[in-house]
Amino acid sequence: MNLDYSPEEQKFRDEVRSFISAHLPADIRDKVKTGGARGGKEDIVRWQKILYEKGWGASSWPEQYGGPGWNAVQRHIFDDECAEAGTPMQLPFGLKMVAPVIMRFGNEAQKSHFLPRILSAEDWWCQGYSEPGAGSDLASLKTRAIRGTDAEGEHYIVNGQKTWNTLGQYADWIFCLVRTSTEGRQQEGISFLLINMKTPGITVRPIIMLDGEHEVNEVWFENVRVPVENRIGDENKGWTYAKFLLGHERTGIAGVGRSKAALLRLKSLARRQQGDNGKPLIEDQRFRDRIAQVEMELMALEITNLKLISEEDKAHAPGPEASMLKIKGSEIQQTLTELCMQALGPYALPWLHDGQDLAGSSQPLAENFAVRDTGTSGSYFNTRKTTIYGGSSEVQKNIISQMILGL
């Protein structure tokens, strides 16, 4: 693999950088730069609509569905520039998770209805996979969908509970794994449904996290009526579609661009923060060695990620290699936030929402070291989950051992 960008790729990078510089609202950039990388609904939707108007709303989508048709390197460059500039993260549940499933396994009516609305940010999607007793062992899920017919047509009646549902409090739609059969192997009785969150019988209850944020929820289904035409593919074949989706999710969790931006921030902190000897922390050999170690690991992850997404361009779905990216990417994210906490010391105490509040103040951020970095503790707490969601590291190691090593 040639790791040097061609003149055409450098030109593309300049184009992306110029567009972001000209169109990213300053208030959004300041929130992200002060620790609000997740962003609120309004910021995420506003940025998505800006990208949509440019034709860049979904960097990985093919042109036939409204994407820019970029190759793997262009997508990588775009992600890098977005992370460095401080854009909010595009909502992955619609763009990078359910959309590829609809493209591959959905019918034409589903494609024509759902895909444009995802691209334009008209619909906000969330995920309904995990349950209180079915997280890493997802095949043991118990949410039931019983098929029936009435005057309005064929439908499913859904009853059950989903948990660790991210940003479902904003959602218009949820893609759900439900049990439609109890016969045979657990994986063979699961179906993949698209459910309107405004349907009667759905209750969303918040789960407040360690950083004080309302990011995840419990979602309850009580006699929720779902038209059969909202099922993706065949009944009882949802496990196949779920595995396809998880491959895309795990590739995204690697978060190379965001980690590169976090590494730059860590180095900046280490140059400005004094160690116990009164010298900049970057001059402490042990701390400098830890930065060098995580930087080398991030470089290796970036190369592996580029190789994998290049394979996607050849119509290969992400395989067990995505598990490698998920493990290493999540570990690197955690290491970077840990090192930032160590670099800041007592300045790391303010929480994420403190930084978001200060982002809109008139006080120049560059003049106040403590203010600028108030998002550190919130980011630290939030990244504790990265080795769990999308399939825990233990599950990913099992996948690698079985599918690559044959153990």
Q: Which of 244, 246, 252, 324 is nearest to 60 (CA)?
A: 252
Dump strand ranges (E) for 29-151: 125-128, 144-150
Q: Whole-angstrom Cα distance, residue 137 to residue 386?
A: 17
Q: Look at the block and give the residue holding tokens 């003049």.
A: 367
Collect contacts of 99-104 with beta carbons under 8 A, ≥24 apart. 99/58, 99/61, 99/65, 100/60, 100/244, 100/245, 100/248, 101/175, 101/192, 101/232, 101/241, 101/244, 101/245, 102/232, 103/61, 103/62, 103/65, 104/244
pLDDT at position 163 is 96
Place of tokens 């444009």: 116
Q: Residues 246-301: pLDDT tens digits?
A: 776 666 777 888 899 899 989 988 998 887 778 899 999 999 999 999 999 999 99
pTM equals 0.85
Q: What is the pLDDT of residue 306?
A: 81
Q: Among 87-96, 313-322, 343-352, name the most confident range.
A: 87-96
**Residue 112 pLDDT grade (very low, low, confident, very high; cuts 50, 70, 90):** very high
**Alpha carbon separation from 188 to 140, 150, 242 (Å, rounded):** 11, 27, 12
Give pLDDT, residue 202: 98
User: Could you tell me which residue, 398 or 103, shows the higher pLDDT?
Assistant: 103
Please give the CATH topology (third level) of the domain spanning 125-236: Butyryl-CoA Dehydrogenase, subunit A; domain 2 (2.40.110)
Tell me, rounded to whole angstroms, the distance of Cα 258 from its chain centroid: 11
Q: Please compute, for residue 88, the number of CA atoms within 13 A of its CA located in the half-sphere on the CB side.
A: 25
φ, ψ at 126 (rounded to 5°): -135, 170
Report d(CA 85, CA 18) in Å as an integer: 10
- Given a contact cutoff of 8 angstroms between Cβ atoms, the answer to whether 336 and 266 are in contact is yes
Does the pLDDT of residue 225 top 60, yes or no?
yes
Max intra-chain CA distance, the chain: 78
CATH 2.40.110.10 in the chain is located at 125-236
- Give the whole-angstrom CA distance, residue 230 versus residue 241: 14
Please compute Rg for the chain using Cα positions: 22
Please give the class, per CATH, of domain 254-403.
mainly alpha
**How far is 174 from 193, CA to CA, in rounded Å?**
8
Q: Whole-number mean pLDDT of the chain?
A: 87
| More confidently predicted of 89 and 224 | 224
Query: In 3D, which of 301, 323, 333, 305 has the Cα closest to residue 404?
Result: 323
Give the whole-angstrom CA distance, residue 225 versus residue 247.
29
pLDDT of residue 359: 43
Answer yes or no: is pLDDT of 136 > 60.
Answer: yes
pLDDT at 57 over 90: yes
Q: Which of 2-6, 93-97, 361-365 has the lowest mean pLDDT?
A: 361-365
pLDDT band at residue 356 using 50, 70 and 90 as cut-offs: very low
Of 27-41, 100-114, 241-255, 366-380, the least confident: 366-380
Which pLDDT band holds residue 354 (cuts at 50, 70, 90)? very low
User: CB atoms < 10 A from the CB of 392, how many?
Assistant: 16
Mean pLDDT of 108-125: 98
- How many angstroms separate the CA atoms of 351 and 222, rounded? 36
Rounded to an integer, the average pLDDT of 342-371 is 53
Are 282 and 288 in contact, with CB atoms under 8 Å apart?
yes
Return the amino acid letter for 348: A
Catalogue the E-assigned strands of 78-213.
Answer: 125-128, 144-150, 153-166, 173-179, 190-196, 202-208
For the chain, where do the domains classified as CATH 1.20.140.10 start and end?
254-403
**Average pLDDT estimate for 228-257:** 87
CA distance 193 to 178: 7
- Structure confidence at residue 352 as a pLDDT band (50, 70, 90): very low
d(CA 347, CA 374): 7
Output the pLDDT for position 365.
36
